[in-house]
Amino acid sequence: MTNDLANPTTAAAKVGLPPGSLVHVGEKKVEEVKIAVIRYNESFYEEQEEVSAEECRLTSESVTTWVRVWGVHDSQVIGQLGEIFGLHPLILEDIMHTNQRPKAEEMGDYLFFVLRHLNYEEASKELFSEQVALVLGQNYVLSFEERPSSILEPVQERLRQGKGRLRRAGADYLAYALIDAAVDHYFVVLEKLGERIELLEEELVTNPGRETLHEIHHLKNATLSLRRSVWPLREAISWVSRSGASLIKESTVVFLRDVYDHTIQVIDTIETFRDMLSGMLDTYLSSLSHRMNEIMKVLTIIATIFIPITFIAGIYGMNFEYMPELKWRWGYFASLGLMAGCALSMVFYFRRKRWL
């Protein structure tokens, strides 16, 4: 028996199917799809967990509805929600395809957002990326997450407490708050990456090794993945802010511009990290080259010291019959002394030249 959670569906499963076919592409993160519904206005708050798709229908125009969906692999549930809220089949297809590029699209009476939740695990030193799809309607927001995550929980907690303008504002402000929560978490990821880069810098100076090179490449890949998530999101937020989408109030556009500024700040930090890692890689390679040069210098000095010794040994190793020193009583010790004297003289000379 195979475990579906460990066997992600690849894009090959969609080959040959018509556009809008509901096929899950990506890793199945949860066993079953779960839905929660939050309904609220300034004086009212209601929260329902583990409801069916039918229970998500809008009840009143004066109430904002937030439908939270965890798990996007069940085409039946996603299809039901699409039918209830009038979502285009291509939008449903994008929701179930979890490798989408962050984007924003206006589809008549609703806006569709795709963004990515990122989390850096310090224990495994891995950067995990998951898709989050948002649908903003006149008085509702649908959020589709691959699995339960704590990133959006602060928004729901603010709704429970009824503090700030979140309960007073409409669905567009809720959508902004969800996007802002995701972008704010990018700073948490950047902080963890920054701490790791600082430790790696110290290691590079004190004791660089093969693992150091692997860690540099790993962090470069992590920053590249983070950049791929933030760069298109910046473009999407900029487009929504400038397009004058009918579902986004002017008062909310101001806050979206603030999120846009945050994405620019994230991208600037990413570029700084990438430059630092490139510099660290150059430093590591220079250190490796310097170490190799030092080894070659030592070996060259040793070989140079043995050149006169080898020369002397070669002379007395020749098979001539008449060599006066061979008959000398102290010839052996004299040749050893001459060899030692040559070696010591060369060592003294190298030390004066600071080659040793």
Domain boundary among 241, 262, 287: 287
Q: Using pLDDT thresholds of 50, 70 and 90, give the confidence band for residue 3.
A: very low
Under a CB-based contact definition with an 8 Å cutoff, are residues 248 and 172 in contact? yes
Mean pLDDT of 120-137: 87
CA separation, residue 17 to residues 13, 72, 100, 139, 195 (Å): 9, 19, 18, 34, 46
Under a CB-based contact definition with an 8 Å cutoff, are residues 37 and 66 in contact? yes
Residue with tokens 């179930």: 96
Same domain, 150 and 10: yes
Number of domains forming the structure of the chain: 2
Same domain, 47 and 144: yes
The mean predicted confidence, pLDDT, of the chain is 86
Same domain, 258 and 313: no
Q: 217: closest CA among 174, 297, 281?
A: 281
Q: The pTM is what?
A: 0.80
Distance (Å, whole) CA 98 – CA 207:
41
Q: 240: closest CA among 229, 253, 258, 228?
A: 253
Q: Using pLDDT thresholds of 50, 70 and 90, give the confidence band for residue 9.
A: low
pLDDT of res. 202:
85
Same domain, 73 and 205: yes
Residue with tokens 């004299």: 334
Same domain, 40 and 187: yes
Mean pLDDT of 247-263: 91
Query: Which CATH number does the domain housing residue 308 bear?
Result: 1.20.58.340
Same domain, 307 and 274: no
Q: 95: closest CA among 118, 119, 67?
A: 67
266 Rama sector, left if φ>0, alpha if ψ -120 to 50, beta otherwise: alpha
Under a CB-based contact definition with an 8 Å cutoff, are residues 297 and 288 in contact? no
The per-residue pLDDT for range 205-218, each reduced to its tens digit, is 787 778 888 888 88
> Residue 10 gets which letter from DSSP?
P
Same domain, 67 and 201: yes
Query: Which CATH number does the domain housing residue 131 bear?
Result: 3.30.460.20
pLDDT of res. 2:
37
Q: Using pLDDT thresholds of 50, 70 and 90, give the confidence band for residue 121.
A: confident
Same domain, 183 and 327: no
The torsion angle over the Cα atoms of residues 80, 34, 237 and 252, rounded to 10 degrees, is 90
Domain boundary among 258, 287, 316: 287
Say which residue, 329 or 255, is predicted with more confidence: 255
Secondary structure tally for the chain: helices H, strands E: 8, 7
Same domain, 130 and 82: yes
The per-residue pLDDT for range 267-311, each reduced to its tens digit, is 999 999 999 998 888 888 888 887 888 888 888 888 888 888 888
> Which residue range forms the structural domain that includes residue 346?
292-352
pLDDT at 86 over 80: yes
Same domain, 132 and 262: yes
Under a CB-based contact definition with an 8 Å cutoff, are residues 182 and 132 in contact? yes
Same domain, 331 and 200: no
Same domain, 145 and 116: yes
The DSSP bridge partners found for residue 35 are 69
Cα angle 156, 160, 161 (rounded to 5 degrees) comes to: 120
Amino acid at 98: T
